[in-house]
Structures are given as structure tokens and as C-alpha cells.
Chains A and B, each alone.
Chain A
Amino acid sequence: MMKKLFALFFAGFVASSVFAQEAPDALIQQVTEDVLDIIRKDKDIQSGNTNKAIELVDKKVLPHFNFQHMTALALGKDWRKATPQQQQLLIAEFKTLLVRTYSNALTSYKNQKVVYKPFKMNSGETDVLVRTEVLQPGSKPVQLDYSLEKLDSGWKVYDVVVAGISLVTNYRDQFGQEIRNGGVDGLIASLANKNKSMEANLAKVEKK
């Protein structure tokens, strides 16, 4: 009897944790809290160690992002102009740019709190918006929303929207301009240059 009860309890526990993994709002909450926990304890990240923040983002955040979708969204109609090889290069460079930029943003963390907005989802939905808010004393709350899509590998984020600004589609005009000026290869080169110069900056800062 005891054994059966225990098994039932255990099964329930496993089922609920699987369920938690599957719900997109629970996923966002879990990843956010994991990351905030680590930053709160990590004096290096708080004092501006970007490399350490990148490591954290690589490990905790990236597995839940779909960079192919993000890159396609950033290019809009121009995405189809790129060959599959060009697309792979674009994804790689765009990923580096986004990860470095926003890892760096994490280093400005100062006691902000994240509030999770009520989330409702119809069964069978495969594209949802999870809404959160970042609270900081003395400032207006900042809206922070995530668009997620359901893939075979689980829910993946394909857009992050800060105060109404999509960090992905905000690139569309700039990318379009680069492509008009130098074609898809021109855009790839610009992104690569940008990433190289940021890498160089970072190396300079770390040396100091």
C-alpha cells in the first residue's frame, strides 16, 4: 500500500515537472529565475565581466532560443534572397551579436525584480506571447515579452520585446540597407566586422 502510494506520488511529481517544462510561461519563469539567481550571487558579472555573462547565457538561455527563426524575422523578405550557406553564416553572426549585446546588458543588473503576467493559452496553440515586467525602484516598470513557438524539441523563443521594441525586427531596416548597398554578402561582412570590433573592445576591457 505504502509502496503504491509512494509510486503514485512520485508519478505525479514527474508528470508535473514534465508539464512545467512544456508550458511556455513556466519555461520563461524558470529560466529567468535561474539566471537572476546566478547573477545575484555573482559579483564578477555585477561588476561588468561580460565573458562570464556570455557563459551564463550560453548555458542557461540559448538552448531555449530559435536563432534560425530570429534571423529570418530580422531579415524579413530579404531572407529568401540568401542561399542556404549565406543563411547559415547570417544565423551564426546574428547570434554572436545578440548574445554579446544582451549578455552585456545583464551586467547592469541592479536589484530589478521580474513579475510574470497572467498567461492563458488555448490547447493546441503553437505560437504564444509570454508577458513579464521588470520592476526597478524609482523607474517605470519595463515591459519584457517573449514570443515562443512550439517545435518538436519544445517551446523556443523567437522574439524578445523590450518596452514594445522587438530586439529582432528592430534590425530589419538596417539589414535591408546593408543588403541594398552590398548584397547579402555585404550584410554578412558588416555583421562579422561589428562582432570583431566588439571582441576587440572586450579584450581591451578585460586587460585593464
Chain B
Amino acid sequence: MMVLGASGMRKFYRLLAAGVVGLAFSGVVMAEGNPRDPYEGFNRAMYSVNEAVDKFAAKPVAQVYDKAFPLPVKAGVGNFFGNVGDLWIGVNGALQGKFGDAGIDLGRLLVNSTVGIFGLFDVASELGLEKHDEDSGQTLAVWGVGDGAYLFWPIIGPRTMRDTAGWMIDSYVDPVWRVRPISVRNSLVALRFVDIRASLLPADKVVEEAALDKYAYVRDAYLQRRRNQIFDGRPPRLDD
């Protein structure tokens, strides 16, 4: 995906959209399976593909990155991309009616882009301007769109149907994908991918050791985490 150009990205979306529609109509429901995961067979296959890609490509690169750079450098990279994302986080906050939060996100962008030197330092957090966690999938959820089926995509990983749509919107407006020249854009996209992958290395170990069935552990963790994000960290309690 990292090497696709703009037209390649569009093709990729179309393919993805076709996949979603295809799945919606195929209706292969497994008898004893999880009702939230009707395409478990397909998803497990994709999960194995992803595991293989991760094992031989993404993870080794992330491990090298993690070892090669000291914490302040990695923090700078994380802060930089975090700052790039703050504007869209604010827009999504506003779309969900959280105007106060959106104002804070805007303030963060201004402070970090200037005093924080292009976002390399998260000065705003030190000043008490708290970072928020919003995206289009959450906005759609707040507007009443249900999860839809759980899906596991190659490379981008777990997404519900709704969050797949949200992810497409987020990627479409993503400023990093619009950087030119293409070579710089590709480097930035790759760097962000590696930085995120590296930050997940400790979680890898936990899943490896904690899960009886890694696929199910990742799925259920994803669904719980999304629910928590949609309710901004205070989801109503489910009855046991």
C-alpha cells in the first residue's frame, strides 16, 4: 500500500469497497460463531496473511527502528504525526458536537506547530491542553451508524464495516498522503507506519502470551477498544 500512487490508492479503495459489498451479500454465516463476526472464515484467512507479512516485513523493520533510535527521537516522530492529526481530530470532535474539545485541538495545533517546532515537541500537553482521540468511524457511530460486521483486512488490520468506511474518509483527507513530491510523501507514510508498528511491539508480546486464540483475542480487544473510544473512555457498563 505504501508504494501505491494516488490512482493506486483510489483503485485500492474501490477494491476494498467491492470487498465490503461482496461480503455483505455473500451471507456466509457460521453456525456456532460469534454473531458480531459473521465472516470469521474469511477474517481468519486474512489474519494469517497479515501475520506472515508482519513477521517477515513490518515487524523486523519496526524492531530495527525501535533499537536504532533513542527515545527522544522516537517521541519526536510520534509527536510530529500526532500534531498533523490534531486538526482532523478537532473536526471530528466538532462533528460530534464537542466544540470545547475541538477548540482545544485547534489550540494544540497552533501551539505545537509553533512553540513545539513543527510538532516535534508536544508543548500543548505540558500546558494542559489534553490530546483527544477522534476519527470518522467514531463520528459515524455517534451519528447512529452501527458497527456492522467485524472484518480483518490485509495490512490495515481489524475494522468493523462502519470503521472501514471511516478509515476511507480519514485516509482521503489525511494531509500526509497529499505531501509532494511523491518520494517525500512515501517516506513520511512509511515512517509513520513503522513508528506506529514499533509502538505496538510491547502489546505484541502480551497478545502472544495472554491469548488462547490470538485471532479471537485481537478481535475482542479491538471491539472493546472501539466501544471505549466512541464513549470517550466512559462506556456504559455491560451487564454480565
Interface residues of A (CB under 8 A from B): 73, 76, 97-98, 100-102, 104-105, 108, 110-111, 137-141, 143, 163-167, 169-175, 177-178, 180, 190-191, 194, 198
Nearest A residue to B219 via CB reads: A173
Q: A171–B217 Cα gap in the complex (Å)?
A: 7
Known: A138-B78, A140-B131, A173-B34. A198 touches B205 (CB 8 A): no
**B112 adjacent to chain A (CB < 8 Å):** no
Quick check: which of B16-24, B169-177, B221-229 contacts chain A, the rest being far away?
B221-229
CB–CB A138/B217 < 8 A: no
What is the number of residues of chain B that contact chain A, defined by CB distance less than 8 Å?
36
CB–CB A140/B220 < 8 A: no
Interface residues of B (CB under 8 A from A): 32, 34, 71-72, 74-79, 82, 122, 131, 133, 199, 202, 205-206, 209-213, 216-217, 219-221, 224-225, 227-229, 233, 235, 240
Q: A191–B202 Cα gap in the complex (Å)?
A: 22
CB–CB B228/A100 < 8 A: no
B residues near A140, Cβ cutoff 8 Å: 82, 131, 133
CB–CB B75/A138 < 8 A: yes
B142: shortest Cβ distance to chain A, in Å? 16
A residues near B131, Cβ cutoff 8 Å: 140-141
Q: A137–B77 Cα gap in the complex (Å)?
A: 10
Number of A-B residue pairs at CB separation under 8 A: 87
A80: shortest Cβ distance to chain B, in Å? 12
CB–CB A138/B74 < 8 A: yes
B211: shortest Cβ distance to chain A, in Å? 7
CB–CB B78/A164 < 8 A: no
Q: A169–B223 Cα gap in the complex (Å)?
A: 12
Q: A98–B211 Cα gap in the complex (Å)?
A: 10
A residues near B82, Cβ cutoff 8 Å: 138, 140
CB–CB B216/A177 < 8 A: yes
Q: A167–B228 Cα gap in the complex (Å)?
A: 14
A52: shortest Cβ distance to chain B, in Å? 16
CB–CB A164/B209 < 8 A: no
Q: A175–B210 Cα gap in the complex (Å)?
A: 13
Nearest A residue to B78 via CB reads: A138
CB–CB B224/A105 < 8 A: no
A residues near B229, Cβ cutoff 8 Å: 164
